[in-house]
Amino acid sequence: MKAAKRVLAVILAIATVWTGIPFDTVKANYDGEVSPQAVEAGQEETTEPAEGEHVQEPQKPEQTLSEESTPLEPEQETVVQPISVDYLVTESSYISAPGTQRVVVGVGEDGDLVEGASLTYVNEETQERFTVPMERAEGGAILFSMNFAEGQSGTYLLESLEYTMNGVVYSGSFSEGGIETRFGVEKEVETDPDAVIVDEEEIPVDIVTVDENGQVTSQNSIAEAIDEVQNKIGTYGKRASGNVVVVLDPGHDNTHAGAQHNGLSEEKLNLKIAKYCKEALEQYAGVTVYLTRGEDGSCPYPGTSSLEDLSGRVAFAKSVGAHAYVSLHLNAFTNSQPNGAEVYYPNGNYDASVGVEGGKLADKILEKLGALGLNIRGKQIHNADEMKYPDGSVADVYRVIRDGKLAGIPAIIVEHAFMTNAGDVNKFLKSEEGLKSLAVADAEGIAAHFGLQKKSGLQINGIFYTEKEGWIEAGLSWHSTSSSVQFRWLSYDTAKGIWTTVSDWSNADYITWRPQKGNYWLRAEARTAQGAQADWTIVYESKRDYTRHYVNISGIYAEEGNSGIRAGAVHTKNDANTSFRWMVYDINKGTWTTISDWQKSEWVTWKPAKGNYWLRVEAKT
């Protein structure tokens, strides 16, 4: 090892040795020249990219238009029109590098001629912007492909679109239309990648899909497009085998408020019911549960109208492969007489199987709500007066049910109780216990519909850790009724935006962690053989770089034997190649003697003559 990289730790012991008299004590202390800080300072400074980190080079300007594309700026001055997007579909919310993300944007109808187009996207971590030309266009549908090389990663936002159609130039940002589509490259992101933006009175009937070769194919309906994509590239409904995905939708939000009666706010109570329901449903094996809005109650799609927000929520359900969409609400009326629960479910038009499944799910939930003593008003269908499905049949009036059917998802609306009825309010809506009972009934109904079974119990109570000289020891406080529990530990570097697996799935509920200096999230995940899952995350600030080589000596241990004095260095290290040197100083003669030169063993046998000595041990990595 080069001298510049050597890390030395030295400790000195002063001993008085009398021949023929038992050895008494060895006193040890630091020599004052080496400290943990000095150990770090003694090592060369090196900087290497963290695992998975990369530097992304921006694309060259000349790549923004293909050879076949027509430049978007004509020679003469042209008035630019705002973009009008009918739908936007991404191939996947997660791209492995190297890999390709394909995006289809619908901007016109059959017969419309798109002469050229470019799409701009931005890396949200680095703020670098990239522009790609269209690959091809057909019937108002534009296909774009974005290639990512090995080593690239990050969260990308589709930012803006520019295209020339029928001789008219259009340009604008997707956010102006309420579309915020993100995808991750070597990174999981929460996104709404498959949003379909439609008008309330008109639903487009010419939809496209993209196969693995980028071939654009026209479909007659959104449902056909969904089936096509599922069969070819899996844009929609990526599902784990045997796993049920349920999306719970707490109706309304802080922007689009619900009913307000008897001092109660519907949007707040809906959120409480949804959270309790998620907690109860996750006690079952084989189910993944999502909420459409966060715990702060805010609108998941800021700046959108109420109907646009609802479409976004269903699009999210589609992106996670939902098997059911359950919108949770409370009822109200102009007088206080009506009471009890009712569920709206899809009609039998367009896709009869969605209506059948929705009706069965409604029956199970109403059965469980009725067991609480609620008046059961039954399941109901509400048809639209004028709106039609793409096949010309009468559409469902409620946006989430209608969009759910178009996505192939049984969507229902559960109206749990009346906020205008004193009995319902006092028994179910004014206490956490009452709200939780409604939520548990919902969960039991969903579980009964899908045939789910309860997990064996698993609970994490917290993460505890101890900072050592060269690492951090972290462990879990947990409890499980299962005898087979596995754990995984991950860390997230908040500055770099990178997740790292510290310890993959094993039976170890503790780790030795060596982070660099910085701020982290430390996350522990647990799972049982029966399917129970739990996790815990803490925030940790590392004030030193634990990845550097170090060695620290805290004392000398010594004992007298027939063959001499056996001495050992009490130390900590993180380098298996650490070596030690032992020396003695004869105080009477004023001379140093090496009794053991650099060796990997921290032990030495010393046979001193009668006299006074310093016993010194040194260590280096």
Residue 267: is its pLDDT beyond 60? yes
The per-residue pLDDT of the chain, averaged, comes to 78
- The pLDDT-based confidence of 435 (bands split at 50, 70, 90) is very high
Q: How far is CA 425 from CA 262, 429, 552, in A?
A: 8, 5, 66
Residue 614: is its pLDDT beyond 50? yes
Sign of the C-alpha dihedral computed for residues 320, 322, 328 and 333 taken in this order: positive
In terms of pLDDT, which residue wins out, 308 or 205? 308
Residue 13: is its pLDDT beyond 60? no
What pLDDT score was predicted for residue 296? 85
- The pLDDT-based confidence of 28 (bands split at 50, 70, 90) is very low
pLDDT in tens, 278-328: 999 998 888 999 999 988 888 999 998 989 999 999 999 999 999 999 999
Is residue 589 a contact partner of residue 613, using CB atoms and an 8 Å limit?
no
pLDDT in tens, 367-390: 999 999 999 999 999 999 999 999
* Phi, psi values for residue 75, rounded to 5°: -65, -35
pLDDT in tens, 497-520: 888 999 999 999 999 998 989 999
Is residue 158 a contact partner of residue 124, using CB atoms and an 8 Å limit?
no
- The pLDDT-based confidence of 454 (bands split at 50, 70, 90) is confident
Per-residue pLDDT, averaged over 594-604, amounts to 91
What pLDDT score was predicted for residue 10? 54
How do strand 87-90 and strand 168-173 relate by DSSP bridges? unpaired
**For residues 50 and 46, what is the distance between their CA atoms, to the nearest angstrom?**
12
In terms of pLDDT, which residue wins out, 107 or 207? 107
Per-residue pLDDT, averaged over 142-168, amounts to 87
Q: Which amino acid is at 223?
A: A
Of the candidates 268, 313, 314, the residue with the CA atom closest to the CA atom of residue 293: 313
